[in-house]
Amino acid sequence: MLSLNKEYNQLLNLTKFNVNFSKFIDNHNRGKTEYLLNQSPDYIIEKYNHWIGFKPTVVHKMYTPDNMTDFFNKYWKTWRVSESMNKSSKNILMYLYSTQNMNLVEMSEKFEEYIGPMSMISDIPNKKGLHQLTEQFVIEVLKKNKDNIKVVLRNMKIDSII
């Protein structure tokens, strides 16, 4: 495994955030939209603050991409989300919705599209907050993304130079 450094810790925290809401964790869910529909906006924001640790810098998306329209209609109806909660959670939900495949390159690209710079993710190592079996799944995701980790870390290093 790669040596632990700031960028790797950031990537690890992003992966843990994604895994926390992964369709692959809950054996009883029926797919990504159903699983995300069961997650309250308060819980999503709590976990976002824990793993990511900064207020999204990307402007709140007023539009909903066509492939997410049905999901958001169901989500807002289920949770009866206030306008302020909508503004604080919509981009995060768009990010989670679009990154369920656990591909780290896609996660980093979508993170920057919907949330903000990867460099702002918390780099605190060894954050607790996942069940032991879920932690094991994080390790599996990282192993399957071995080459993608190198690409994302390289991109993060380049971004920090620029």
8-18 pLDDT, tens digit each: 999 999 999 99
pLDDT digits (tens, 9 = 90+) for 132-151: 888 889 999 999 999 999 99
Sign of CA dihedral 47, 49, 54, 56: positive
The answer to whether residues 73 and 67 touch, using CB atoms and an 8 Å cutoff, is no
Structure tokens at 76: 């807002």
Residues 6+ apart with CB under 8 A from 59: none
What pLDDT does 61 receive? 81
Q: Coil, helix or strand for 48?
A: helix
Kindly report the pTM of this predicted structure: 0.87
Query: Average pLDDT for residues 55-64, to the nearest whole number?
Result: 88
pLDDT, mean of residues 15-35: 71
| Structure-token match 């495994």, residue found | 1
Can you tell me which residue has the tokens 């879920």? 134
**pLDDT at residue number 113:** 95
Q: What is the DSSP letter of 25?
A: T
Distance CA 78, CA 105 (A): 31
